[in-house]
Structure 1
Amino acid sequence: MPTEDRLTELTELPDTPGYAHAVTVTGKIAFVSGQVAVDAQGRAVGVDDLGAQTRQALTNLHHVIRNLGADWSDVIKFTWYVLDASEVQTIRDVRDEILRPALGDVHNPASTLVQVAALFGPEFLVEVEAVVAIPAEASDV
């Protein structure tokens, strides 16, 4: 796995709520486009339900990551775009529900969350993109 280290504790900064301040990697990386809560037919999933939309967006992101030959442990950084940043705990809960089985006790990737005025369509509440370190055995993707 090309993820080398996760910087999680600094005396100069407060503890993070489960994400790394920085992640170092070696090898090839991929920048994955933002994913929203759509099904395979392009229909919105979980309209008015941030938890359902977060789950579907992460599911879609996981499909892309797996097709790159990677998995959750290879994600270096998430960038989240949300309509209401006060709902961040819902996103964290769903993220942890999905990532904890893959990461175990390892901190989540580096992460940024930005509140925006609008997303791709009016029915969407969240969008997530990722930077992924491609494992050496999958680097010919």
Structure 2
Amino acid sequence: MTTNRRLVRMSSPVGVVPAQGYSQVVTGPGRLVVASGQPAIDEHGEPVGPRDPDTQARQVFANLGRCLAAAGATFDDVVKLTHFTTDIGYLASIGAAWDEFVDPRHEPASVAIQVRALSRPEFLLEVEAMALVAP
């Protein structure tokens, strides 16, 4: 179990296999912030990094960071990430981009879902976030 400010992260509750790179449970007090899934699109609505999961992942987290900031949150407040990807092999790109934006020891609860397609054919991945902001 680790804590970051007021959040408590549990990677291995009793009877649950220990998590690698994410937390099984995250809890804490605060105001809930939910950021919709962000694809690799710039502020002008143009796709970023077609067919490049590394570039797309960095753009996705840049977008998420802007969404969180608009609600008064930061990546340190994130308690849950949902990754949607057209190829589960892109998780390495998503993880590397996450590590560029956040201390790698910050491990929110997480799920990865491989999907047939996203909202536009050039999108390879999309990530949504839930955060708890201190009361």
Fold agreement, TM-score > 0.5: yes
How do 1:74-93 and structure 2 match up within 5 A?
A: 74-93=77-96
Give the unaligned 5+ runs of structure 1: 137-141
Say if 2:26 and 2:108, in contact at 8 Å, map to a contact too.
Answer: yes
How do 1:94-109 and structure 2 match up within 5 A?
A: 94-100=97-103, 105=105, 107-109=106-108
Secondary structure at the residue paired with 1:6? strand
Task: State the 1:11 CA deviation.
Answer: 5.7
Secondary structure at the residue paired with 1:127? strand
Secondary structure at the residue paired with 1:131? strand
Equivalent residue number for residue 53 of structure 2: 50
Say if 1:81 and 1:115, in contact at 8 Å, map to a contact too.
Answer: yes
What percent of counterpart residues are identical?
35
Partners of 1:7 and 1:79 in 2: CA distance: 18
TM-score, structure 1 normalization: 0.85
Larger RCO of the pair (alpha carbons < 8 Å, separation 6+): 1
Number of matched pairs: 132
Give the unaligned 5+ runs of structure 2: none
Alpha carbons of structure 1 residues 135 and 10: separation in structure 2 relative to 1, 3 Å? closer
Partners of 2:8 and 2:89 in 1: CA distance: 30
Residue identity matched to 1:37: A
Secondary structure at the residue paired with 1:123? coil
Alpha-carbon RMSD = 1.8
Task: State the 1:74 CA deviation.
Answer: 0.3
Say if 2:29 and 2:134, in contact at 8 Å, map to a contact too.
Answer: no
Say if 2:33 and 2:73, in contact at 8 Å, map to a contact too.
Answer: no
Task: State the 1:13 CA deviation.
Answer: 3.8
Residue identity matched to 1:122: P
Equivalent residue number for residue 35 of structure 2: 32
